[in-house]
Structure 1
Amino acid sequence: MYESHFGLQEVPFALTPNTRYFLKAKSHSDALELLLVALREREGFIKITGEVGTGKTLLCRLLLNALEGQATTAYIPNPSLTPENLYEAVVDELGVTVSDADNTHRVLKALTQRLVQLVGEGQQVVLVIDEAQAMPEATIEALRLLTNLETESTRLLQVVLFGQPELDTLLNQASLRQLKQRITFQYRLAPLDRASVAQYLRHRLAQAGYNGDELFAPAALKVITRASGGIPRLLNILAHKSLLAAWGRGDQKVGRWHVLQAVRDTESARPLGLLGRWL
């Protein structure tokens, strides 16, 4: 499409999470640092929440990459599971063979033996769950019971929950107060501010091979910041469509008009008020 027109080697604003494009903005850097410190301290439950599109899955992948070689990890990307299926998923992630997977007692026994073995070998075991707000209440309770597995001196399993704000609502239920009390560290991802938006766009363009002058004009930055609300996923959508608009007219820079066209074409964009009066 527009890559050669702007001197790019690849599309810079793809929606697929790619850790190479991670920007160390304050909120996201602080969240990653908190995760690593809390896990180093062997805390039981850690929770990271954020609105849709704030970069939770990317942060999740960064964490898994950081733990590679440092810990044994189990990753559950879709936790809309029954308690039994959750146990089976964890067992599968940890490479445990169970003769009778339909027998929950045997599954838990085999899992416990595997955790004891790993910890005995000096391994830290971390269960990472993305989209945790999708877990049924019974499955959350089953997850809490998993963290009861411990020796006299060591916790056998640590859990990191990534979820939308609905996860907080779910955990506020009285029936789940025991799990909520076990969450020792938590962090809420914040949207990017205007300065970080400009930095975000520059960073992704540079990672995609761009080395020219500022590609987004100040007026374009103002509109894209407001229309995206600083949400990275919306930024990607609007920036991509803005580049398409500029390319379609043969323009070498992205201006206010191009971003306004992108906003008009994006239902999830934030209302612009007077900024969009010339749409």
Structure 2
Amino acid sequence: MYKSFFSLKVKPFELLPNPDFLFLGRSHKKALTHLEHAIRGRSGFILLTGDIGSGKTTVIRFLFKRLQPEVVLSRIVNTKVNFEQLLVLINEDFGLSGEGKDKVTLLRELNEFLVSIHAKGEMAMLVIDEAQNLTPDVLEELRLLSNLETDNAKLLHIVLAGQPELRETLAMPHLLQLRQRICCFCHILPLEKDEIEPYIFHRLERAGNKNAADFSPEAIDLVWRYSRGIPRLINTICDFIFLLAFAENTRSMTAELASAVITDLDFENCYWGAAVPPVPTATFTGTSVAEALPVLPNSADESIKVLLTEILSRVGQLENRETNSGVDVEHVVTSRLENIENCLATF
């Protein structure tokens, strides 16, 4: 909707794990370096963890794109399966038939395929996404795949990608043998505060216009504080900031805009699961919502009263959050009410 207004070729803050938009922050760059080194070294099992939305899948896709055409990839996202079902998914993703075959046959055919890939000088890479959903028994059986090897190289490079709890599962005593076969442990951390602005402008540049907008330091600070450095959440906030800026015909991304978006999305509660505060019955100047309503003629449309009640309730919520947000809520509310009044004046 706002691409033309900001002279962008594509939306800069899509939630898809597009490798063309990968921003190599310090943690992402470190993870990518270790992953590539492990895969090129034909080392076997690799562990990649990170919080939801931290960019694990984007890093993997970026790496695969960099390694093409020497790597043949199988990527598994359905991890609520038993080991035999997992083998079927792996074989089918490599282009082999899998349905209706037993475990021994599946392993034999997979081994034959991997040997043929190795003979051509290529590498086979298996990425299991959302690996934290694999049961300990499946993880233990997955160790069998590390036995697919030649005298001097592993035939299959396995990346287990998942949320931090995957590490807790792998720490179980009976998974010691699997854990000892993991040659590379990577964990992607959230972006640091000083990486937020470069991240935003990197994505704008990839979308076609690095100079699409100006972000105030206060707006950047709010994006960082509420996203906590998680790229997916940065994208969510920024996408709505751009949408609101487009609606208000401005290219200046201020703290006022950022605060309005965070409030409208009820961001802390919806995205971080904080307890939802009760809607206050008292708003400003110590009066109740009913007392704060202007005196309207009896003939006034009831919907207007409902609307005013809702507005005043939301103002109360804003006031309650003023301390935590660090934003001048009075200025934010006054400005937005003036915009509403200007719109109503045109009718």
Question: Is the TM value for this pair above 0.5?
Answer: yes
Distance of 1:121 and 1:37 partners within structure 2: 21
Instruction: Find the counterpart in structure 1 of residue 215 from structure 2.
Output: 216
Counterpart of 2:271 in structure 1 is: 268
Provide the residue aligned with 1:2 in structure 2: 2
What is the CA-CA distance between 1:3 and the residue it aligns to? 2.0
Amino acid at match of 1:252: R
- Where structure 2 has 5 or more consecutive residues not aligned to the other structure, the ranges are 275-320, 330-347
Contact (CA 8 Å) 1:79, 1:130: kept in 2 or not? yes
Contact 1:227 1:269 in 2 (8 A): no
- Number of the residue aligned with 2:20: 20
Cα separation, 2, equivalents of 1:2 and 1:71 = 38
For residues 9 and 124 of structure 2, the distance between their equivalents in structure 1, rounded to whole angstroms, comes to 39
Report the counterpart of residue 186 of structure 1 in structure 2: 185
User: What's the secondary structure of 1:188's corresponding residue?
Assistant: strand
Contact 1:172 1:180 in 2 (8 A): yes
Whether the 8 Å CA contact 1:73–1:127 is kept in 2: the answer is: yes
TM-score normalised per structure 2? 0.75
Paired residues in the alignment total 278
One-letter amino acid matched to 2:325: L
Determine whether 1:11 maps to 2:61: no
The alpha-carbon deviation at position 276 of structure 1 amounts to 4.5
Q: Contact conserved, 1:260 with 1:276, CA < 8 A, in 2?
A: no
User: Which residue of structure 2 aligns with residue 49 of structure 1?
Assistant: 49
Contact 2:52–2:163 (CA under 8 A) maintained in structure 1 = yes
The aligned runs of 1:1-279 (5 Å cut-off) are 1-97=1-97, 101-212=100-211, 215-264=214-263, 265=265, 266=267, 267-268=270-271, 274-276=324-326, 278-279=328-329
Question: Does the 8 Å contact 2:7/2:208 carry over to 1?
Answer: yes
Q: 1:95–1:197: structure 2 CA closer, same or farther, 3 Å change rule?
A: same
* Distance (Å, rounded) in 2 between the aligned partners of 1:262 and 1:9: 24
SS at match of 1:155: coil
Tell me if the contact between 1:228 and 1:270 (Cα under 8 Å) persists in the aligned partners. no
CA–CA distance in 2 between the matches of 1:270 and 1:191? 18
Once the two structures are superposed, residues 5-25 of structure 1 have per-residue CA deviations (whole angstroms, 9 ceiling, x without a partner) of 222222211111111111122
Q: What residue ranges of structure 1 are gaps of 5+ in the alignment?
A: none
Cα distance in 1 between the residues matched to 2:272 and 2:251: 24
Is the Cα–Cα contact under 8 Å of residues 228 and 269 in structure 1 kept in the other structure?
A: no
| Structure (1 or 2) with the larger CA radius of gyration | 2
Task: Normalising by structure 1, report the TM-score.
Answer: 0.92
